[in-house]
Amino acid sequence: MSQRIALFWPGDYRTKPNESARPSITEATLQMERALRELGKVPYRVEGFLTKPHEAIEKLTPIDDPLIGMCVHWFYGPHTTDGVVGKDNPLLLASNFSGKWPGLVGLLNTGACLASVGREFSRVWTDVEDWCRDERFMENLSQWCSSGNIDYPEDEISFEAAISSDASAIANSVAEEIRRRRVLMLMLGDTSMGMINGYFGSRLLYPVGFTEHKVDQAWILERGKSIDQKRIDDAFKYVNDKGVTFHYGAPEAEDFSADSTKEQLRDYLAVADLLTEFKADCLGWQYQLGLLPLRPPSDFAEGLFNSVCRPESNGDTIATATEADQGNLVPMELMKRLLKRKGLHQAVMFHDVRWGGEHDGRFLWVLLNSGSCGGFAFNHDPESLSGVHSYRQPKQYFPHAGGTFAGESLPGEITWARAYILGEELWMDIGKGEVVKLPEEKREAWWQGTTRQWPFMAADLFASRETIMAHYMSNHIAVAYGDIFSEMAALSRELGFKVRILGRV
């Protein structure tokens, strides 16, 4: 492999996040340069953050040397993918392993974007302060520097699952239900922030029993104007009566008030009307970046839709994927139907694979997304919103005041899944796990070390950190309480997905 290696900084579209991350990415780049020099390589830098697709195209495409993307904060998939697709020079995504600076989140998303378009790449990560002293990191980096690839253990990956006759019967009944009336996804815009891996399109959705109907997000603004004030006031009274705690006027949230929540409920009701009009089964909501300067965050509404207990409820959840991510929405809808058929509560949670650490001898992931986790996770009571807290979304990212749908997820057995594109086919990753209750001091340290305003879940995914970091195909994950693992494997295969099992089952 070439002695010269180019290091580049994939970035956010927005200036503030990039500038906030500059000290961290500068230090990480120095660490990587030191490690490369120790291995006899000559690193050089591509100038500046790549903040738009054209910058990736113009700055990365001309480079034939091996490339390393430095992943130390959230950044957009196209800001790497668009500049390297169609080329075959060795590509490595390198991440710190930090909750405050979620480079691993950016790595997982961009890695899945690259895989979905068939671009070869490798991954490497470390949580050691001095990267050169991390023996495993240096071994992996050395392998990449010599061969252009890194071989990761696959001992926690399988492609078959034991399926009982009862599980098969449940899966077949849901499959027949979908064949009688295919699943209609209402898509409010396309995927958010360049999530190439989160959009499947009709060509891939039709064969597995799904279809999409796209509605421009501008409809939310237009429909919102005609929402009767009484409906908004009634909805606000409902969420208060059902137990939501609102953190109005807190430090850094002086502009967050009841009026902010009512505007979020206006959008919730406008979208509820659209769901009724189109008789849609589930919902993908882009929000960012199109509505960011125009409306408060969609998170509170998304949390409500993922709850049975919600204003003007029809008695069901509406499986809702933030950022219009079909890779989560598809398994969420399938899991919801399996849960109902098995007599379990139907809520399915949407989370980021945000960070993690050791606790009592096992590795726990911090699953943490801005608000698409339903209230059931926090109370295990379908008729209540007790335990739901709404904090102002951080001003750095959200200029219009609006609240999250947050809380601490209760312990319990879980099934998790994720759909993705690989080799022009739809795949489904499935696993088992357990939500763990942490001691208060450790929980707060982990929560404060990520984003305290967002819903929190500490989960053992029954797979090692190395397996998830090396093989998982997204920064998003769908999580349901209860064991529907065998049913999900059987249903996914029956509908035409390729199935991959991660971890102990």
- Tell me: pLDDT of 262 over 80: yes
Distance CA 96, CA 73 (A): 9
With beta carbons less than 8 A apart as the criterion, state whether 109 and 195 touch. yes
> Residue 434 is encoded by which pair of tokens?
């357990």
Q: pLDDT class for 84, splitting at 50, 70, 90?
A: very high
> What confidence score (pLDDT) does residue 61 get?
98
Sign of the dihedral through C-alpha 185, 186, 189, 193:
negative
Q: pLDDT class for 270, splitting at 50, 70, 90?
A: very high
CATH topology of domain 165-502: L-fucose Isomerase; Chain A, domain 3 (3.20.14)
- 165-502 and 4-147 share a CATH fold: no
> What confidence score (pLDDT) does residue 458 get?
98
Task: Please write the tens of the pLDDT for every residue from 426-479.
Answer: 999 999 999 999 999 999 999 999 999 999 999 999 999 999 999 999 999 999
Phi, psi of 482, deg, nearest 5: 110, 165
Please tell me whether the overall predicted TM-score, pTM, comes out greater than 0.85 for this model: yes
Q: pLDDT class for 359, splitting at 50, 70, 90?
A: very high
> What confidence score (pLDDT) does residue 443 get?
97
Distance CA 341, CA 198 (A): 27
Task: Please write the tens of the pLDDT for every residue from 87-138.
Answer: 999 999 999 988 888 899 999 999 999 999 999 999 999 999 999 999 999 9
Nearest to 148 by CA among 171, 122, 169, 125: 122
CA atoms within 13 A on the CB side of 241: 10
Which CATH class for the 4-147 domain?
A: alpha beta
Cis peptide before 289 (omega within 30 of 0): yes
CA atoms within 13 A on the CB side of 81: 23
Q: Considering the chain, what is the average pLDDT of its residues?
A: 96
* Domain residue extents for the chain: 4-147, 165-502
Amino acid at 113: C
